[in-house]
Structure 1
Amino acid sequence: MAAANGSSDLYSEMEVDAFRRLFPLRYHEQHLLKSVRPDARKLGSARDTTLALGAVASAEGSALAKIGSTTMLAAIKMEIMTPTVECPDEGSIAIEFHMPPICSPLVRPGRPAEAASVISKQLSDTILRYVVIACRCPKLGV
């Protein structure tokens, strides 16, 4: 009898998945009417979150974050360099953002994802904006 229940559960799961793919709006509306998310969490509850600092030993700073079944890794590597002759009082910053193929079906092996360069630019702009503000306001401290 267990085999019958097992195949019945699989069939039900396949039906739900087909409905979710064919009618995504109705699928989510049904959950909202019940005040529950598709993963059975209540609307106001957050996913389980963990954070591990120092996840990459070869980096100057790193963190591994898990939010539900999503895992993210951030690492910072630094290198001290000699400034150019033209700008002896200025430094530079280079941001690289990597998206491996496992993160999205849109990312293909062998070439960087289109979004990676946009995210790298946004990160760089944000960090540089903070550095400029911090230089103008010593209380923020850099």
Structure 2
Amino acid sequence: MHAGQGPTPSIVISGVTVRYANGVTAVNDASFALGPGTICALVGINGSGKSTIFKTLMGFLKPAQGLVSIAGMEVRKALKRGLVAYVPQAEEVDWTFPVLVDDVVMMGRYGHMGFMRLPRKADREAAEQAHEAHM
């Protein structure tokens, strides 16, 4: 914590501009900070840059200018530490594809798996905990 300022923000977007390869500016000078435990919604009309902001937070897109940090780290470092995960929008998911709860949990555990990406005891325990939580 900073003296008199509250907790350090978990997510910071500061002066971020994102341009696509075709030169279109998708996000222009966006800034916000979210503290630990904050619940927020990013709302806007189609094409206003909502998905672009999330893709930038995930490191899929790099800002042309500005700063993006997660837990005080640059995005790449936060991703390596497993501090970030991504769930695509509903239209990006084929909901008719047969998948089990275990499969979904294991997809989320992928970044924690070791060599050969084979599930370990901790991964199987995470799947079991999801079942116990009635997920």
Question: What TM-score comes out, normalization by structure 2 length?
Answer: 0.30
Query: Higher helix fraction: Structure 1 or Structure 2?
Result: 1
**Higher RCO structure (Cα 8 Å, ≥6 apart):** 2
Report which of the two structures shows the higher radius of gyration computed on alpha carbons. Answer: 1
Query: Higher strand fraction: Structure 1 or Structure 2?
Result: 2
